[in-house]
A and B are shown apart, each in its own frame.
Chain A
């Protein structure tokens, strides 16, 4: 079945460091790919998405490119801030399956001043 694998956390960075969180997927068909963020004590929020191969999703300085050839959707940010500390989830979904999402295990990011 479909699955998502993320790099394990926790990831600890200093402010203004470069961030990469790796995500690879296995899927039949042509899913959409998502990054969700969960701040402490809050619900999941959509960070960015890409709906087809070679699409780049971007938001709040974060970027991820849908790479079909490597089945990857790595999250990057050039300069992280303390406020980016959260848990990040990579997910895939297919709207012909009603919109349900398959999540990776989540990566906790901690940014130190």
Chain B
């Protein structure tokens, strides 16, 4: 089956620093990947669509300069949280489509101190 990995699984950083989260499709290629944010006990909120070879498409209300997305290859998308602040602490999840199904990564827990 299709597997999506994320790295790191957990990260703790200081306020003002930047953090990069990787999303990889391990056994298939994905020209599109999706980034979601999940707050505790709440739903997944779609942040942006990552497009290989072109700019990401951001959902309304998501700051492009805060959440930088780069789809570097057909198997890798990265989300960089720039100048992170405590309110950016959350669970970030990526997904990639394969054969008309979305496969999700295990998520990255970001804690900003």
Q: Which residues of A pack against B, CB within 8 Å? A: 36, 42-46, 49, 89, 93, 95, 98-106, 108
Interface residue count on the B side (C-beta < 8 Å): 21
Given known pairs A46-B102, A101-B34, the reply for A106 and B93 (CB within 8 Å) is: no
In addition to A99-B32, A99-B97, 12 A-B residue pairs with Cβ atoms within 8 Å of each other are: A36-B104, A43-B4, A43-B106, A44-B44, A44-B95, A49-B101, A89-B44, A99-B100, A101-B44, A101-B46, A103-B43, A106-B41
**How many contacting A-B pairs (Cβ < 8 A)?**
48
The DSSP consensus for interface residues of chain A is: strand
Does A44 lie within 8 Å of B46, measured CB to CB?
Answer: no
- CB contacts (< 8 Å) of A43 on chain B: these are 4, 93, 104-107
- Residues on B with C-beta less than 8 A from A103 are 36, 43-45
Q: Which 5 interchain pairs have the tightest Cβ spacing?
A: A43-B106, A44-B104, A99-B97, A105-B43, A103-B44
19 A-B residue pairs with Cβ-Cβ distance under 8 Å, sorted by A, are: A43-B4, A43-B107, A44-B104, A45-B104, A46-B102, A89-B44, A93-B102, A98-B32, A98-B49, A99-B32, A100-B34, A101-B44, A101-B46, A103-B44, A104-B43, A105-B42, A105-B43, A106-B41, A106-B42
B interface secondary structure, majority: strand
Q: Is the CB of A44 within 8 A of B43?
A: no
Beta-carbon contacts of B66-101 to A below 8 Å, as 1s and 0s? Answer: 000000000000000000000000000101010011
Cα A89 to Cα B101 in complex, Å, equals 15
CA–CA, A95 and B97, complex, Å: 10
Q: Nearest Cβ distance between residue A30 and chain B, in whole angstroms?
A: 14
Q: Do A99 and B93 have beta carbons less than 8 Å apart?
A: no
List the A residue with the shortest CB-CB distance to B48: A100
Q: Which residue of A lies closest to B34 (CB)?
A: A100
Kindly state the separation between the CA atoms of A105 and B42 in the bound complex, as whole angstroms.
5
| B34 neighbours in A (Cβ, 8 Å) | 99-101
* Cα-based distance from A89 to B41 in the complex (angstroms): 12
Q: Could you say which of A49, A89, A100 contacts B46, with CB atoms under 8 Å apart?
A: A100
